[in-house]
A and B are shown apart, each in its own frame.
With several copies, the nearest count.
Chain A
Amino acid sequence: MTIKEIQEDIIDEFSMFDDWMQRYEYMIELGKSLPLIEEQYKTDDNLIKGCQSKVWVHAELDGDKLVFTADSDAIITKGIIAILIRAFSNQKPQDIIDADTEFIDEIGLKEHLSPTRANGLVSMVKQLKLYAIAYQTQLK
């Protein structure tokens, strides 16, 4: 599936919820099921700045696709990064670079989209894209 298709899926799933509580409960579920980063990659280098909670993201090439794993010490943050990883992992670096993040808005997490937000969603997206740019150069 393309990033766009996955994002559509996510939007569909979230559209079933009536209120923020269900959305957050689902996000917490997603957080709990996040494919965990290996302990050795929980380094300061992989730590994303600008979050109130700690978030580590690791990236690895699998063929020409980039695979992300992540963890956080806060469960809601983990849910957010889980959604991002679902949308962006296992994709070609160039596609990750080109992807937009409007689906965040559409699944009712708009309040997290401001760059000044303490949860660092914007920093996370930035970090995923930075990885993509780095590996893109490596692929060439």
Chain B
Amino acid sequence: MVTKTLDIQKIRKDFPILQREVNGKPLVYLDNAATSQTPQQVIDVIVDYYQRYNANIHRGVHTLSQEATDAYEAARHKIQKHFNIAHSHEVIFTSGTTQSINLVATGFTSFLEEGDEILVSAMEHHSNIVPWQMLCERTGAILRVIPMNLDGELVMEAFHKLLSNKTKLVFCNHVSNALGTINPIKEIIDAAHKVGAAVLIDGAQAAAHIKADLQALDVDFYTVSAHKMCGPTGVGILYGKEEWLKKLPPYQGGGEMIAEVTFEKTTYADLPHKFEAGTPNICGGIAFGAALDYMNGIGLDVIARYEDELVQYATEQLLTIKGLKIYGTAAHKTSVISFNIEGIHPYDIGTIVDKLGIAVRTGHHCAQPIMDFYEIPGTVRASFSFYNTKEEVDKLVEGVKRAKDMLL
């Protein structure tokens, strides 16, 4: 059996940005959890769109419009196939994960009653907390938190105890952006379904690392942002089971999402158009498809194996620094290392290593409840992608050591 491995030097050539310098040093980009970089193959698709067939889609009779429509719908099919989704109309294009979640949270307004319960994991991104808080305010439903332990793992016994016939919705990320934890979403989905609750899994952070099989997961909703998986900014998807998407009311009103409009009465269009009001991010959708092609060309299993090695190496190396503490030490984790050094503010480390050309993120990573849990102001977060190398990890470790020497 031949195991495919990854030709890292060839891959790095695909990403023009990796050739640049920052503060006179070669860029070491370790902020992939915030946004991944874009290969030339995807940039080329964007350029080709604007140079050759830019046009508004659907309903257009002319060639440009038909070519753009075909390309946009082909991208929808690529996404469908990638995530093993039953119907292409279960793929709703949105402007990103945040909008995908808001669409569902707004839609559930009429399904919930006072006293209904919504379960949220303790390690969510603000995008997967605030919309539900707003929903609870509108409906009188109650938000209950699935606790986590010090390793950054959900306490599953507590989760099972929280479940009851009052539970209407459970939402949780597939991978935590602040800790890297891979959550046991299959267990969560199955248990939630037993009490009749719907489950939304926020896949924003998982999608670049794990190829989710949405039919096997039997999840009700799944969300993805293209910019976190080699795609462009401003586009993402909401996957929803057909039965849910049929039940949910439309989110925004506008062109494309209607069948008939009179001033007296409007009837809505079929899926997926019902949820896609207005001119979409046409080029973005097409480029999202190209990004999937690119990643599948390498293979998500190959990527995951490579990244796991990298993260393990980085973990070992970083832990050689005295006083360095890693937050998020779950048994199952991927691609993210959040850490602090005793007595040093994460912002200071981030600032110093930036001077060395190393891009890490510092702060609460839009997950304040996690920071509150650990009683810290934030962390330094290094997040890895398949185009990063062990040499870059060494530079990070070197940089953090230097920062520590300067700051303490």
Interface size class of A (residues with CB under 8 A): 20 to 34
The segment from A72-80, A89-97, A125-133 found at the interface with B is: A72-80
Complex Cα gap A26–B407 (Å) = 11
By the criterion CB–CB under 8 Å, are B363 and A52 in contact? yes
By the criterion CB–CB under 8 Å, are B406 and A111 in contact? no
A2 at the interface (CB under 8 A from B): no
Kindly list chain A residues whose C-beta atoms are within 8 Å of the C-beta of B347: 52-53, 74, 76-77, 118-119
By the criterion CB–CB under 8 Å, are B61 and A52 in contact? yes
Complex Cα gap A52–B346 (Å) = 9
Complex Cα gap A52–B344 (Å) = 14
By the criterion CB–CB under 8 Å, are A74 and B345 in contact? yes
Complex Cα gap A73–B348 (Å) = 10
Complex Cα gap A54–B362 (Å) = 14
Complex Cα gap A28–B344 (Å) = 12
Contact of B59 among A24, A52, A111 (CB under 8 A): A52
Instruction: Given A53-B345, A116-B73, answer yes or no on A75-B407 (Cβ-Cβ < 8 Å).
Output: yes
B208 to chain A, nearest CB (A): 24
A114's nearest neighbour on chain B, judged by CB, is B70
B305 at the interface (CB under 8 A from A): no
A16 at the interface (CB under 8 A from B): no
B350's nearest neighbour on chain A, judged by CB, is A52
Contact of B70 among A24, A25, A116 (CB under 8 A): A116
B69 at the interface (CB under 8 A from A): yes
Complex Cα gap A24–B352 (Å) = 8
Complex Cα gap A74–B347 (Å) = 7
Contact of A28 among B65, B377, B406 (CB under 8 A): B406
By the criterion CB–CB under 8 Å, are B351 and A116 in contact? no
Kindly identify, within residues 40 to 72 of chain B, every residue whose CB is under 8 Å from any CB belonging to chain A.
57-61, 63, 65-66, 69-70
B355 at the interface (CB under 8 A from A): yes
B231 at the interface (CB under 8 A from A): no
B35 to chain A, nearest CB (A): 16
Complex Cα gap A106–B294 (Å) = 34
Kindly list chain A residues whose C-beta atoms are within 8 Å of the C-beta of B348: 53, 74-77
Complex Cα gap A118–B57 (Å) = 10
B23 at the interface (CB under 8 A from A): yes
By the criterion CB–CB under 8 Å, are A28 and B345 in contact? no
Kindly list chain B residues whose C-beta atoms are within 8 Å of the C-beta of A76: 347-348, 351-352, 407
Instruction: Given A20-B355, A24-B406, A25-B406, answer yes or no on A114-B345 (Cβ-Cβ < 8 Å).
Output: no
A99 to chain B, nearest CB (A): 24
By the criterion CB–CB under 8 Å, are B345 and A73 in contact? yes
A35 at the interface (CB under 8 A from B): no
Complex Cα gap A72–B242 (Å) = 32
Complex Cα gap A108–B92 (Å) = 33
Contact of B58 among A21, A54, A111, A116 (CB under 8 A): A116
B378 at the interface (CB under 8 A from A): yes
Kindly list chain B residues whose C-beta atoms are within 8 Å of the C-beta of A111: 63, 66
Complex Cα gap A21–B23 (Å) = 12
B331 to chain A, nearest CB (A): 31
Kindly list chain A residues whose C-beta atoms are within 8 Å of the C-beta of B270: 49
Kindly list chain A residues whose C-beta atoms are within 8 Å of the C-beta of B73: 115-116
B63's nearest neighbour on chain A, judged by CB, is A111
A109 to chain B, nearest CB (A): 11
Contact of B66 among A20, A25, A118 (CB under 8 A): A118
Task: Please give me the 9 A-B residue pairs with the lowest Cβ-Cβ distance, nearest first.
Answer: A74-B345, A116-B69, A74-B347, A53-B347, A52-B347, A116-B73, A76-B348, A74-B348, A118-B61
7 additional A-B residue pairs with CB within 8 Å, beyond A73-B377, A74-B347, A118-B363: A28-B407, A52-B61, A52-B363, A52-B378, A54-B377, A111-B66, A117-B66
8 contacting pairs across A/B (C-beta < 8 A): A20-B23, A21-B355, A115-B73, A116-B66, A118-B347, A119-B61, A119-B347, A119-B351
